[in-house]
Chain A
Amino acid sequence: MGAHAYAVTSYLSGLAASAFGWYTTYASPSSGSFTPSNREYLNDAHMDDQCLVSASAASGMNVIIDLGSARQLTGVAILNSNAAVQKTDAAVLVEASSNATFAADVNVAKAATTLYSTTTPKNKDHVLQFTANHTKRYWRLTWTWTGTVTNFVIGELFAFIGATQLSRRSIYGSGESYEAIVSQAPLQYGETRGLFQAGPIRQLDLQWDDLTAAQRDELYNMHALSNFGARPLLWIESYESTVLAAAAAEQECIYGRLIKPGFQWAHKDFAIYQPGGFSIRSLGREAGA
């Protein structure tokens, strides 16, 4: 298990929708192209607004992202997507190139990684972390699976450079909770009718203790960089930096907000600090998620 890490800046934000070019096959991008009408949802910092890629998505579908200039990405999160919900063998390959069509200079940044597919809603959010080996303008994600994915959607793509690691992991007492938004309408004669609106919504409750000043400041910086919850952050449960395919634990992430707009700490002993805990709550998902 690696260190916790986080990222607050997505290097995809600000890109125009036209920066995302979707292609059905690797070999002939020009002949099989199509344009989702809602590509702008890929980088709008909303997981709930999903880009509907295809009503019936075949294996090999890929997107080429034009960053505008060469950048040395170290990871990309694919958030609120349903490929691994429907397929246990859904995998993603990350490549980088200086060639807009990947006709040449194709570099594997992250080997094809089978996406974690077991527990909802973790199977909708995945992060792929890799080594800072490639400084390229064009990046390509290629999905493969058996058969087709119905209504293949992606809520958000989040690409980052150098996720910030924390020196300490959270302690015992930390945990995770799930909440659903359900309306219950009681009637006379004992009947209650239920209505579903959303959920489960993930929340991490993290506890920390016995930190040094430097470790404490790492947490403070995380709060400050995320504007104390005003700005969503990508929380990475287990940091890694490799071109090899990721294990399930290294894909785990949560894209959410710090739910308390503040940070405080107390002396516990000389030069030992107790910042208390904080919680990160996932951004919401689409209706019926």
Chain B
Amino acid sequence: MAWIDLLKLDGAGFAWLVDVSFDDFATVAYRWGTSSVHVGSDHYRGRICEGGLSKLTRGFGNENTVQAGMLSLLLNNTDLGVDWLMDRATVASQVFRARFRVKLLLYEVGNVAANQATKTLGTFKCIDFPSRDSANVSLQLSDDTMGFFNEPLVSPTLRDWKDDAGSDVDNCPLHASYGPQPAREWDVPLPLAFGDGRLDCFAADWDHGNDGTDGTPVGDMDGCRAIPVCVTTSTDAVTSDDVQYLWGVYGADVMLGTQKWAEGAGTTIFIPKQYTVPADSTIGVPGDTNTIWEPQKTQTISKDGVDWKLLWVKFNISAYQTWFQLTRNIVVGGAQPNGDIAPTANLVPEAPVAAATDYGKAFAAFAYFQAQGFPFSARTVDSQAQQLAPNVVKDLISYYSKGSSSDIDSTRFATALQMAPLAVSGVVLPHKPLESRFRYSNQPPPSDAITSGQLRQALVDICQSADLDLAMTWDGKLALYSSYFSFADLTATRVSIRETRCAQVQERVPSKGQRWAPYNRVYAVSPDGVPHGPFDNPDATIDWGATLERVLQGKWLQPFQAVNPLYSSTIWYSERRLESVVRPVIRFITDREGLQLDLGDLFNFTWSRGGSSGPYGSGAVFRVESISVDPKSLFVGIEAVWVDDLTTVNPYLIDDEILALRVQSSGGRTATVVDSDATVTFSSGDLVANGVVAKDVLVLGDSTQAINVFTRYRCIRILSVTDATHLELDTADLDFDAGAGVAVADWKILRGKQTYHTAVSDPVNYPSGSAMYGKAASDSDVYGDATAANVLL
């Protein structure tokens, strides 16, 4: 019997089961139950006390990310069998890493072994130490997310790179031979970066003891500095796209000679990868092509069992100096070169005049750098320079947390990707080093324009920026939900919940600040944290007679377009789609059949209040916002938001080619064609009744003819329908290879370009206002007039 059948079976038996694992369920160390039972080949020992399991809950959080579900568990310990939960040694070695998977077993009473099914209803970890009395051990558990997805994996540091066995004088500017100046940021875990925003980067070391040109050359990194960009778990080799553009930001105290350089101080300059010295130049070697910088990846650096690579920029200071001098007529950190180049000056941070070969001084004129590239830390990419929010969330969980791809509900992520493909950009674990030796107190702090916090905060920011909800499904997988619906959502068979199987039904309109609170004015917060707006819904602001604000977070949104009138946009693939709709939220409890639902599921709910005048007497569509189950009665508590307009507001237009079919051959109905004759004779049927009209298309597909002979294998426009069995063709090419006539058995007649559907002729299948792509759509991607839908094809 399937789970759903057992769920509906009256008088079914049930038991709660708990699997305990120390290795992410590769193996199960303990199996406990509310009663002892064999489940398949596994035996569960009855250990959970009566009333020893608290209510299980799942819900969307207010911050668009996982609302942690809590669970308490009381275990019988009269046999001392769970003392390991309290013993000092095993607390350290087992309890911290233990994961608890809670399952509900349903079975047919009297036939347990043959008719049983389980459903996972959560995976948990200890959030507090267990406690015990003389008979029992008490556990307080919480969703895995509290631990697994709070912090990213510990990424390598610059010191890890420097000390790695694979680092040498030819691949690491921090190699000891260069005498790098240790800095505290060498121990900062290096950041993860996503998207195509400009990423703030700092030099690994502004000053070297040995720069080659000072007489102590040691390797390929002479005269070069490292600008760390980000780390990645991809082991792909470096490409030129990894860092495509580089900017340098001068410190506010940058000097030109002995004067503050007002034009340059604090400004950002674009630094090309390469340049060619003009043939008539008196600076550098005429005709030479010099490389200022190039992206590099380190060897694989293993840390805590994970393989990483650091993406960094190899910056050649000498080449930079020459380029700067060529383009700006300024000598960077050196004495006046030969030739008539003025002004003679040095570009260094607040310091005395330095020698031209004092690369450290020249390099330290920069406060920091900005890099733009692709794909940085991303592992899942859809297109060049565009990383979509669902993919970034997936990568962070799959590759940069203690979770794995198996912790992800791939179907829900795929749907979210369809519905919320917003590009995002940002940094996890932003590199905010302490003051370096060449950064001065009046230099600007590192910009945090596109930076974020730790993993959990990053997930919150991404989800809020892209209108996504990250939540945990019943089976303990992380799922991503868009607030908009896919075609599959609209057309799927929905569970129906009748009020006769419910109790304690309540309805309310969410208050300001709560999920789904109505709004008619928005403020959009840009990545740098500045609110823009207000942007008003022009209609709702007047109609409602009140202004209800909502703040749209956009910390990870890239590109951020605050200037657009957001309310007028229905383009969900590049902007956020706003609405001013009152969406009530209902709350009720129902029987265990409610366990068919999971977060984000759509269902039909009927509420007649005993008569026909109820608010949802004929049913309405709701979306599950939170769900709970009582372990004793299996009562399911559901909170859901009204989304009954999903099929009427911006519905999907399905340009189904089958709808274009007027009639096709069947039952021996043939179409006879004769050379040099425009008349086609049908053996039976009624063309008029079939709806065939002039400008439709006859498609011949005579299987007795080779498909590359296009006389009875072709499409011909119809000039007119003569009667039930005759039509005239609109073509001069009447060669059918059928001198005496051939009865074609395989044919069909389709609507032609001029007889195709419009919103007027077929409003059911092509409703005005449908969301669609293509030439028939308006600038807002709405199908809104009588334009023939076949323009799409």
Contact = CB atoms under 8 A, between A and B. Distances in A.
Interface of A: 37-38, 41, 46, 48-50, 52, 150-151, 153, 183-189, 191, 193-198, 284-288
A187 B37 CA distance: 29
B634 A195 contact: yes
A287 B11 contact: no
B110 interface: yes
Contacts of A287: 13-15, 33-37, 46, 105, 107, 112
A193 B7 CA distance: 11
A284 B35 CA distance: 8
Contacts of A151: 38, 113
A86 B37 CA distance: 19
Interface of B: 10-15, 33-38, 41, 43, 45-46, 105, 107, 109-110, 112-113, 499-503, 590-592, 632-635
B45 A288 contact: no
B619 to A, nearest CB: 16
B47 to A, nearest CB: 10
Contacts of A38: 43
Contacts of B12: 195-196
Given A194-B10, A195-B11, A288 B37 contact: yes
Contacts of B632: 183
Q: Among the interface residues A41, A287, A288, which one has the most CB atoms of the partner chain B within 10 A?
A: A287
Nearest to B46: A48
Nearest to B78: A230
Given A185-B591, A191-B591, 14 more contacts: A46-B36, A49-B43, A183-B634, A187-B501, A187-B503, A188-B503, A189-B499, A195-B14, A196-B13, A197-B15, A287-B112, A288-B13, A288-B37, A288-B110
Nearest to B632: A183
A185 B499 contact: no
A49 B36 contact: yes
A51 B371 CA distance: 65
Contact of B109 (A193, A284, A288): A288
B45 A191 contact: no
A286 B592 CA distance: 22
B34 A286 contact: no
A186 B632 CA distance: 13
Contacts of A193: 10, 591-592
25 contacts: A41-B43, A46-B36, A48-B35, A48-B36, A48-B45, A48-B46, A49-B45, A50-B36, A183-B634, A184-B633, A185-B633, A187-B502, A188-B502, A193-B591, A195-B11, A195-B12, A195-B633, A195-B634, A196-B13, A284-B36, A285-B35, A286-B38, A286-B112, A287-B107, A288-B110
Contacts of A195: 11-14, 592, 633-634
A197 B35 CA distance: 8
A106 B46 CA distance: 39
Nearest to A52: B38
B10 A46 contact: no
A46 B12 CA distance: 24
A151 B10 CA distance: 25
A46 B46 CA distance: 9
B430 to A, nearest CB: 51
B35 A286 contact: yes
Contacts of A48: 35-36, 45-46
Contact of B14 (A50, A52, A191, A197): A197
Nearest to B43: A38
